[in-house]
Amino acid sequence: MTARFTGKVALVTGGGFGTGRATALAFAREGATVVVAGREPRDLRETVKLIEAEGGTADAVIADVTHGMDVIRLMKTVVERYGGLHIAFNKACLVGDPKPLFDMCEATWGENLATNLTGIWLLMKHEISHMRENGGGIIINNSTNISFLEGRVGFGAYAASKAALSALTKTAAQEHIADGIRINAISPGDVSAPGAPYGQMADDDEIASAVVWLADEESQFVVGHDLVLDGAVTA
């Protein structure tokens, strides 16, 4: 049986731990060449080592998605080393220090928006630019089920940035489906990744399997959707 993504190049930002790492491994098991990106070299190297130990092909690129030049360099590196980009899972995110809005400093607010919204916009901007010129592709953004709830005390900046990301995803999907670029998002509930804001509600591999499905031809009619993955558990 041929693996689903043989001959494809997949980029996973935030690929050094948790759901990002699990998704990178899942793509590699399905035959993709996987590039993981993030801020922490040691974490990324560990992901690459795990993929290679299973016989997969992987690479790591250090990049901060809040810096436009880093994103440009990341895309250039992926394309030059591997000839293109077919799938992107934009997992990079920041939860930050939970605080009520009245007690939140401007820096915390700005950091959440810079990573969770502006950073993903920068990634999509350059991913889309490449994909439009090369026959299309798949983009999946990582949001949160908090966007669909009544709110979570102390996570106003995180929730606002992710809700905006969901809206941005749907708009981008409408703008670029005619270019052959299929864009969706996932909105997980609590997962077992380090730094998750609440307890453990889902396994990283379960979330990764949904990302892989959205990247596969089986879901080709799913466009501009934000897939909530929380087991209907909201508290």
Cα 208 to Cα 228: distance, rounded to the nearest angstrom: 13
Residue 99: DSSP 8-state: -
198 in active site: no
CB distance 207 to 229 below 8 Å: yes
Q: Of the listed 17, 27, 82, 158, which one is catalytic?
A: 158
CA distances from 78 to 16, 50, 63, 132, 182 (A): 17, 20, 12, 16, 20
Cα 84 to Cα 202: distance, rounded to the nearest angstrom: 33
Query: Tokens 């801020």 label which residue?
Result: 39
The continuous run of DSSP H or E covering 176 comes out as helix 156-176
3-state secondary structure of 221: coil
Catalytically annotated residues:
158
